[in-house]
Chains A and B, each alone.
Chain A
């Protein structure tokens, strides 16, 4: 028996969500610096300002912060083996060697994304759609790459029992089975060639939302603790077992959703757990940065052995942190205009100034310089490696890498 309740003409509801809204293109003058606090917190890990960084100062830039211009140029022909599409889940993460890994989205696919590595020597696909003995994987909760493997966090079941009913996903789409076995969070590991290796089962006590690898080859994981209605930050060993916990600063837990989640109301707790979607790990400076997108909350730098450093962020006035770019030697952050709606498509062309790219001082979270992007690939900046940005462009299914040098 199929459970499929067709509700005709829900267009109004969909429009209420913002689908089909036009990109927002509100112009904005060059932003001034915010006056919010940006006091240095923990000891600096050493990022000396360079004397030449005032070069290429733009006429239009804020007087307080210099700006530089970078221009992307295609580096070669299409990457063999890589299959791109016109959209992907951001942020993009990169391997320690600076190879972008991109979760491309196919237009008609309700299933989990496939992550593609954009190695110039040859791309590889990392797919969780057909993991042997693992079923009902609906989405990717996070992924990361080390030197030798790519790991993807999913929820699924090893029990292949299904209910007699199926779910209709829509006209022309295959029905979805309802898997009735116990579900768990798994860390699915692949080698760098995209070959499945194993699935590490994570603790059932928590709902794992993000995982990353620390410099000492152990894992750090963000999870939601439903019993106490708070987020948790754990260290995991190479087998996925919890070995300890790390303190999450109070300022990062002060969001309205997380506070409301402690009221005891189930729906509020669900919202709180969902809000962890905006908590993201990104590899930076050979460490891992934990940040909350769409906020001006402090960021947390995580190092080997679980060393933790909280850094408050200074954002351009009227902007909040959107995402952090994978980088091996500095902090590169993209900021998003706070006046933009949370629904509908946002125009990301650089001239709209809806998004701004900055280098941020990793010592104290202050803005070091704005990075103006010339070229056409602002949306796909993937990583920075020793002063070179890597982005990509997609033409049909072909993917081309582009690079740009960041002036000193």
Chain B
């Protein structure tokens, strides 16, 4: 119980960095309806629990909790950004190479796990994340949703 309680005050950003997690790193979620009961108080209640289907995706989620009849249960909540490249850990060679090729002629912006956009070349070099927005030409920008393997 104390472990879960501690998540409440120090929630954790969970950002997965799996290979190929580019176009698909926006993951769907499984929303469960939870029924709960507390025999001491007679409480009966219902709430919802969210679980990302994150498997092979790169997903930004916060570990979170939900409370039901005085008990606390694990859950997740979405991060602000749906797209996350895992701080430059683009380990799929094919996609990495594809992005590098694109970057020769275009500005490729990716999001860090903090939700900040930064140039791909910087992400690949694993340089420290800039805390200021990067200047780029939107006309030359590829969105990540247009790159990679597409939906399966």
Q: Is the CB of B31 within 8 A of A110?
A: no
Chain B residues within an 8 Å CB radius of A346:
45-47
Q: Is the CB of B45 within 8 A of A274?
A: no
- Distance of A118 from chain B, by nearest CB (Å): 15
The reply to whether the CB of B123 lies closer than 8 angstroms to some CB of chain A is no
Q: Is the CB of B82 within 8 A of A266?
A: yes
Please measure, in the bound complex, the distance between the C-alpha atom of A322 and the C-alpha atom of B113, giving whole angstroms.
36
Question: CB within 8 A of A266: which of B65, B87, B145?
Answer: B145
Q: Is the CB of A3 within 8 A of B17?
A: yes
- Given A5-B114, A110-B74, A380-B37: A167 in contact with B32 (beta carbons within 8 A): no
Residue of B nearest to A171 (CB): B6
The reply to whether the CB of A42 lies closer than 8 angstroms to some CB of chain B is no
Chain B residues within an 8 Å CB radius of A138:
51-55
Q: Is the CB of A108 within 8 A of B27?
A: no
The reply to whether the CB of B110 lies closer than 8 angstroms to some CB of chain A is no
The reply to whether the CB of B8 lies closer than 8 angstroms to some CB of chain A is yes
How many residue pairs bridge A and B at CB < 8 Å? 229
Q: Is the CB of A183 within 8 A of B55?
A: yes
Chain B residues within an 8 Å CB radius of A178:
16-18
Please measure, in the bound complex, the distance between the C-alpha atom of A266 and the C-alpha atom of B13, giving whole angstroms.
21
- Distance of A369 from chain B, by nearest CB (Å): 22
Q: Is the CB of A11 within 8 A of B8?
A: yes
The reply to whether the CB of B36 lies closer than 8 angstroms to some CB of chain A is yes
Residue of A nearest to B56 (CB): A183
Q: Is the CB of A90 within 8 A of B34?
A: yes
- Given A86-B36, A345-B68, A346-B47: A267 in contact with B26 (beta carbons within 8 A): yes
The reply to whether the CB of B130 lies closer than 8 angstroms to some CB of chain A is no
The reply to whether the CB of A239 lies closer than 8 angstroms to some CB of chain B is no
Q: Is the CB of B18 within 8 A of A163?
A: yes
- Distance of A106 from chain B, by nearest CB (Å): 8
In the complex, per-residue mask of A262-284: 1 if CB is within 8 Å of any chain B CB, else 0 = 00001101100110011000000
Please measure, in the bound complex, the distance between the C-alpha atom of A399 and the C-alpha atom of B35, giving whole angstroms.
15
Chain A residues within an 8 Å CB radius of B39:
86, 393-395
The reply to whether the CB of B77 lies closer than 8 angstroms to some CB of chain A is yes
Q: Is the CB of A345 within 8 A of B71?
A: no
Q: Is the CB of A182 within 8 A of B56?
A: yes
- Given A182-B56, A183-B55, A204-B152: A6 in contact with B12 (beta carbons within 8 A): yes
User: Which residue, A91, A266, A342, has most C-beta atoms of chain B within 10 A?
Assistant: A266
**How many A residues are at the interface, by size bracket?**
35 or more
Chain B residues within an 8 Å CB radius of A10:
10-11, 62
Please measure, in the bound complex, the distance between the C-alpha atom of A380 and the C-alpha atom of B35, giving whole angstroms.
8
The reply to whether the CB of A99 lies closer than 8 angstroms to some CB of chain B is no
Q: Is the CB of A5 within 8 A of B113?
A: yes
Chain A residues within an 8 Å CB radius of B46:
90, 345-346, 348, 355, 379
- Distance of A12 from chain B, by nearest CB (Å): 10
Q: Is the CB of B10 within 8 A of A6?
A: yes
In the complex, per-residue mask of B106-138: 1 if CB is within 8 Å of any chain A CB, else 0 = 000000011000000000000000000000000
Please measure, in the bound complex, the distance between the C-alpha atom of A178 and the C-alpha atom of B91, giving whole angstroms.
13
Q: Is the CB of B32 within 8 A of A345?
A: no
Q: Is the CB of B42 within 8 A of A376?
A: yes
- Given A376-B42, A394-B37: A277 in contact with B32 (beta carbons within 8 A): yes
Q: Is the CB of A107 within 8 A of B33?
A: no
Question: CB within 8 A of A180: which of B11, B18, B28, B113?
Answer: B18
Q: Is the CB of A107 within 8 A of B72?
A: yes
Q: Is the CB of B10 within 8 A of A171?
A: yes
- Given A180-B18, A267-B26: A14 in contact with B77 (beta carbons within 8 A): yes
Apart from A165-B89, A224-B28, what 16 extra A-B contacts exist at CB < 8 Å? A3-B15, A5-B13, A5-B113, A7-B11, A7-B62, A17-B64, A17-B77, A87-B68, A136-B55, A138-B54, A157-B55, A163-B19, A343-B48, A347-B45, A348-B35, A349-B42
Question: Which positions in B face A, CB cutoff 8 Å?
Answer: 1-4, 6-19, 23, 26-39, 42-49, 51-56, 62-69, 71-75, 77, 82, 86-87, 89, 91, 113-114, 145, 151-152
Show 6 A/B contacts (Cβ-Cβ < 8 Å), sorted by A.
Answer: A20-B67, A87-B69, A107-B4, A138-B52, A155-B55, A157-B55
